[in-house]
């Protein structure tokens, strides 16, 4: 049996490829034909090799169609976070140089306002009705479903989340290779995690496809001949239902989703059929060890963790390895090197934290229109995103935190992720964030902001309980001095926490940049 979307479509066109949240399904034959129609339409709209199409879409087949059209047409696709405001969308459209925008009616108000403020707006198409946008169906109307001529490999240009500044596009040069050859290589990425092509595998996409990892694993699954089930809005109950209904074998999740699955009533978790799962891969944020142990106890040794970034990767660790070295994110995956250096660029000894650098290998990239940032984060064939960690004697990587999030109190480094992991072990905590706030004597003190679990009563009593809980598990200087309570923390659906939104008000008026 062939691999690669178009090869699978030729060999087994009736094989189920995509299941949308509303129940609409596409076979591999239909999906391949749709990608052909879309590419013909984009070329009719004037796009040529190297041009970029942007999309503001929920988890629907149209976004995968666009990704596959770009992948065989020598184009770039930029999926835009649909939670962004109009000015934020406008910035990405302008910065990326998008020639075409495809948007969902659900996000029409923000997209329409974003385009209205551009000096040179892209050609705009809508799934649904957005005033001033042409129907997405019009892009493919009258186009042939046959394979387009002059096919060449394209790429996805994701934008970083912008947690430390404005988002930047991570752009890789287009490779002069046949799209079928590129597609056939994708199953090798999954095999690195132990996932084999074909074999009746079903992948559940639980987070938005605009996220790098979610798009990567979904497209790789299609190229491996797997069915991809798309969730529109994630809830733990619906996630479990879909796993049982579709006999899901693989998924990509984030620790926040693990934590909320574990918060379900015991009888709900006991009734869930998760026996089909073979590989649940997670990343994107630190996973508290207690949370991961409980997930392994529930789902078994199917959980695989990796460390990577939009810019590249990475490391990986199986459940069995992790149980031997709790907290590790693993060893470098094939073709990648990892090193840890101090601020002077010298190798850090085993067990000593420093800046984590990963080799570029064949994943060389640049930040679109920002050579200074590209140079600052790359040297000697390695790149860093500012994470702090250490290697043990066996070469396993342990992450401490982002350098930008590190708290320095009285000259001592404190890593918020360690404190957050302690808080997550308390049953009254649904979500938590830890960061530094001004202190006249120490420079910074440790602040915790907590989203209480259902039934937990926020207030002074819970604050004292949580601080005492941390003091039983951590050195006193690492523990929160105070705890604030909020209804919900500002997390993206990818699990990333917008910590600056929480931290900035505490520093307002201090005159210190953070």
pLDDT per position as a tens digit, 118-171: 999 999 999 999 999 999 999 999 999 999 999 999 999 999 865 445 788 999
Q: In 3D, which of 7, 79, 75, 5 has the Cα closest to residue 39?
A: 75
Confidence of residue 510 (pLDDT cuts 50, 70, 90): low
Q: Give the lowest-confidence range in 25-29, 36-40, 467-471, 488-492.
A: 488-492
Amino acid 417: pLDDT: 85
Judge contact between 204 and 281, C-beta under 8 A. no
Residues 325-360 have pLDDT tens digits of: 999 999 999 888 999 999 899 999 999 999 999 987
Domain boundaries, the chain: 25-180, 406-507
512 has pLDDT over 60: no
Distance CA 318, CA 232 (A): 29
At 172 the three-state DSSP class reads: coil
As its CATH architecture, domain 406-507 has 2-Layer Sandwich (3.30)
Buried b (16+ CB within 10 A) or exposed e, 255-274: bbbbbbbbebeeeeeeebeb
Distance CA 416, CA 405 (A): 7
Question: Mean of the pLDDT values across residues 209-229?
Answer: 96
Amino acid 409: pLDDT: 86
Distance CA 326, CA 54 (A): 40
Amino acid 415: pLDDT: 80
Q: Give the lowest-confidence range in 30-44, 168-182, 228-242, 365-379.
A: 365-379
222 has pLDDT over 80: yes
87 has pLDDT over 80: yes
- Name the CA dihedral angle for 258, 163, 90, 38, rounded to a multiple of 10 degrees: -40
Confidence of residue 514 (pLDDT cuts 50, 70, 90): very low
Q: In 3D, which of 205, 295, 207, 286 has the Cα closest to residue 250?
A: 205
Structure-token pair, residue 312: 């590249």
Give the percent of the chain with pLDDT over 70. 97
Confidence of residue 410 (pLDDT cuts 50, 70, 90): confident
Confidence of residue 446 (pLDDT cuts 50, 70, 90): very high
Scanning 74-135, the segments in alpha helix (DSSP H) are 86-96, 108-116
Distance CA 333, CA 338 (A): 9
Judge contact between 460 and 485, C-beta under 8 A. no
Given CA atoms 205, 210, 214, 220 in this order, what sign does their dihedral have?
A: positive
Distance CA 252, CA 30 (A): 25
At 316 the three-state DSSP class reads: strand
DSSP state of 344: T
Confidence of residue 494 (pLDDT cuts 50, 70, 90): low
Name which residue leads in pLDDT, 497 or 282.
282
Following DSSP, what letter does each residue of 193-251 receive, concatenated? TTPPSSTT-EEEE-S-TTSHHHHHHHHHHHHTT-EEEEPSS--HHHHHHHHHHHT--EE
pTM for the structure as a whole: 0.85
Contacts of residue 446, defined as CB under 8 A and 6 or more positions apart, other chains included, come to 407, 409, 414, 416, 419, 434, 436, 478, 479, 480, 481
How many CA atoms does the CB half-sphere of 333 hold within 13 Å?
22
CATH code, residues 25-180: 3.40.50.12780
Question: Mean of the pLDDT values across residues 457-473?
Answer: 95
Q: Give the lowest-confidence range in 73-87, 94-108, 437-451.
A: 437-451
Amino acid 435: pLDDT: 92
Distance CA 405, CA 386 (A): 10
Amino acid 391: pLDDT: 97
Neighbours of 38 (CB within 10 A): 26
Residues 45-58 have pLDDT tens digits of: 999 999 999 999 99
Give the percent of the chain with pLDDT over 90. 73
Judge contact between 127 and 108, C-beta under 8 A. no
Distance CA 136, CA 43 (A): 14
At 413 the three-state DSSP class reads: strand
Please identify which residue in the block is written with the tokens 């259902």. Answer: 454
Q: Mean pLDDT across the chain, nearest whole number?
A: 92
Amino acid 254: pLDDT: 86
Question: Mean of the pLDDT values across residues 261-274?
Answer: 96
Amino acid 513: pLDDT: 44
Name which residue leads in pLDDT, 317 or 336.
317
Identical fold, 25-180 and 406-507: no
Judge contact between 408 and 443, C-beta under 8 A. yes
End-to-end CA distance of the chain: 54
59 has pLDDT over 90: yes
Amino acid 361: pLDDT: 67
């Amino acid at each position: 049996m062939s691999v690669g979307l178009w090869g699978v479509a030729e060999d087994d066109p009736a094989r189920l490829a995509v299941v949308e949240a509303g129940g609409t399904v596409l076979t591999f034959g239909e999906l391949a034909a749709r990608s052909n129609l879309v590419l013909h339409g984009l070329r009719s709209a004037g796009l040529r090799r190297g041009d970029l199409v942007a999309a503001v879409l929920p988890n629907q087949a149209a976004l995968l169609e666009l990704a596959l059209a770009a992948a065989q047409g020598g184009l770039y696709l930029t999926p835009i976070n649909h939670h962004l405001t109009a000015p934020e969308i406008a910035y990405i459209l302008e910065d990326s140089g998008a020639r075409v925008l495809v948007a969902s009616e659900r996000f029409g108000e923000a997209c329409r306002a974003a385009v209205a403020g551009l000096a040179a707006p892209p050609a705009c198409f809508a799934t649904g009705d957005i005033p001033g946008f042409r129907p997405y169906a019009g892009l493919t109307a009258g186009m042939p479903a046959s394979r387009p001529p002059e096919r060449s490999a394209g790429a996805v240009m994701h934008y970083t989340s912008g947690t430390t500044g404005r988002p930047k596009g991570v752009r890789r040069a287009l490779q002069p290779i046949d799209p079928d050859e590129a597609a056939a290589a994708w199953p090798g990425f999954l095999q690195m995690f132990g996932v084999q092509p074909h074999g009746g595998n079903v992948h559940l996409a639980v987070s938005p496809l605009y996220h790098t990892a979610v798009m990567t694993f979904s497209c790789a699954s299609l190229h491996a001949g797997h069915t991809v089930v798309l969730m529109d809005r994630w809830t733990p109950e619906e996630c479990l239902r879909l796993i049982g209904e579709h006999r899901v074998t693989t998924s990509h999740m984030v620790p926040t989703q693990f934590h909320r699955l574990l918060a379900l009533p015991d009888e709900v978790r006991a009734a869930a059929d998760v026996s089909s799962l073979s590989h649940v891969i997670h990343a994107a944020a630190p996973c508290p060890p207690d949370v991961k142990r409980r997930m392994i106890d529930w789902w078994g040794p199917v959980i695989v963790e990796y460390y990577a970034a939009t810019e590249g990767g990475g490391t990986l660790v199986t459940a069995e390895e992790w149980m031997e070295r709790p907290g590790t994110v693993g060893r470098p995956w094939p073709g990648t090197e990892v090193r840890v250096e101090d601020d002077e660029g010298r190798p850090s000894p085993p067990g000593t934290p420093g800046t984590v650098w990963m080799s570029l290998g064949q994943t060389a990239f640049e930040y679109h229109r920002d050579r200074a940032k590209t140079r600052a984060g790359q040297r000697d064939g390695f790149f860093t995103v500012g994470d702090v960690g250490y290697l043990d004697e066996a070469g396993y990587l342990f992450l401490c935190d982002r350098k930008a999030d590190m708290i320095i109190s009285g000259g001592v480094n404190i890593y918020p992720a360690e404190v957050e992991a302690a808080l997550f072990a308390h049953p009254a905590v649904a979500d938590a964030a830890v960061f530094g706030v001004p202190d006249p004597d120490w420079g910074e003190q440790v602040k915790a902001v907590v989203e209480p679990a259902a039934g937990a009563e926020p207030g002074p009593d819970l604050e004292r309980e949580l601080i005492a809980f941390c003091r039983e598990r951590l050195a006193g200087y690492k523990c929160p001095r105070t705890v604030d309570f909020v209804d919900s923390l500002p997390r993206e659906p990818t699990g990333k926490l917008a910590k600056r939104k929480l931290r900035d008000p505490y520093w307002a008026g201090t005159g210190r940049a953070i």
